[in-house]
Homo-oligomer: A and B are copies of this chain.
Amino acid sequence: MPRDSVKIGLLGMGTVGGGVAALLARSDGLLRERTDIDFVIKRVLVRDPSRKRAVELPPSVFTTAAADVLDDPEIDVVVELIGGIEPARTYITAALQRGKYVVTANKDLMAQHGAELLELARRFNRNIFYEAAVGGGIPLLRPLKHCLVANRIKRIIGIINGTTNYILTRMSQDDMEFDAALAQAQALGFAEADPANDLDGLDAAYKLAILAGLAFHSRIDAGAIFVQGIRDVTRQDIHYARDLGYTVKLLALGERCGCDRVGDTLALRVHPTLVPLDHPLAAVHNEFNAVFLEGDAVGEVMLYGRGAGAAPTASAVLADLVDAARCLRSELENGVMESKFKPEALLPMSALSSRFYLRLLASDRPGVFGALATAFGDEQISLDMIIQKRSEAGVAEIVLVTHQVSEENFSRALKRVTALPAIQPRYSIFRVLS
């Protein structure tokens, strides 16, 4: 293997940059074990080197001169986390020209100048990885590029802006007015002080441009996407929508249209949309994101998760870093090497804890429920829910749901309970997801 260590130059150390450094520090041993590569942050471009950082790095690592990162021949991969168009665009251009791989989380830049930067990367036989630009840590771009490569994608439907989804969820679930929901989103950090790009749908349009580019193998002009934001959605509309069987979501929609009327073309748009309550996207609440895809072979696929936040975004950046490192090593293995996995003992079921649902039939005579309760109590099992239906023909049906209990204790209690003469031999046990 030609190299054991990959040297990283970080541009920017704000929320996401700090998250990347923290995750790299935390999962250092993990990544080394999984990839046989040491990832080393060699230089970090910051505005103020004296500022306290959450992750400790040697002071000599920090610089205020971009050239210290971009011109360092030892740096293999430049990770751009400044955001915005300039100077990010100039820095990425310089990095590619100097033969470095690039990882970026910059959706504005990739939506508006991705095509030119990826073409430049190709000319220099390098690549740009940008999984973190859309949907935080949700696997989106790699599945589109790799897993669905044999599909013609017919349609994308995405909830890809966490701020607006949080606001619409609050309006819907807590019957809040728009302004109050926005204020709450800002207080919780789900909306910025200036939320215009989110509320007006521009953030979603940029992300849609990136997703649609990969889904439809096309260069998208992000500025040509129809955009309607959520400022006009009222509590009243949400009520009506619910009465009609819908919930209101800001959707980013992309479709390949092959009709006679317009020929083969793309339709892209972002607008508030009534989503049928039984559609999987209707269940995407709060700050969560999800992208629903229809491929001609795979059918319907949905990818769901946290679309923002330092740790999820860092998860995507590190995955990109590993891919860049694999490219540097011309690695054939194309992923984690399962052959390195070690055998591991499984925990026996008896050592686990579960919540249990138990249904049984009991003769309707005095003392039965007491005996049952005693059996559970003796095994430290507390009950969360109890239902006893009116007995028929002297037989009562009892349904119990326990709190979290050890499998061992539960099975001992069950043995005692089912040995009671008043309890019938047929019963049902299921575990409850907690």
Contacts and interface: CB of A to CB of B under 8 A. Distances in A.
A345 interface: yes
A431 B137 contact: no
Interface residues of A, number: 131
A137 B306 contact: no
B274 A432 contact: yes
Interface stretch (A59-67, A81-89, A139-147): A139-147
A155 to B, nearest CB: 11
Contacts of A122: 337, 339
Interface of A: 23, 27, 30-31, 33-35, 114-115, 118-119, 121-122, 125, 127, 131, 136-139, 142-143, 145-152, 157, 213-214, 216-221, 224-226, 232-234, 236-237, 240-241, 243-244, 246, 248, 251, 257, 261-262, 265-269, 271-276, 278-281, 283-284, 288, 290, 295-306, 309, 311-312, 314-316, 318-319, 322-323, 326-327, 330, 332-347, 349, 351-352, 357, 359, 385, 387, 399, 401, 428, 430-433
Identical copies in the complex: 2
B315 A433 contact: no
B301 A347 contact: no
B301 A305 contact: yes
For the residues of A in contact with B, the DSSP-based class is mixed
Contacts of A385: 244
A145 B17 CA distance: 23
Contacts of A330: 330, 332
Given A34-B149, A148-B139, A297 B344 contact: no
Contact of A305 (B267, B281, B298): B298
Given A344-B216, A430-B248, A118 B149 contact: no
Contacts of A220: 344, 346
Contact of A314 (B150, B216, B290): B150
Nearest to A344: B218
B302 A302 contact: yes
Contact of A150 (B27, B214, B283, B347): B27
9 contacts: A127-B333, A131-B147, A146-B336, A219-B341, A240-B387, A244-B399, A257-B352, A323-B334, A330-B330
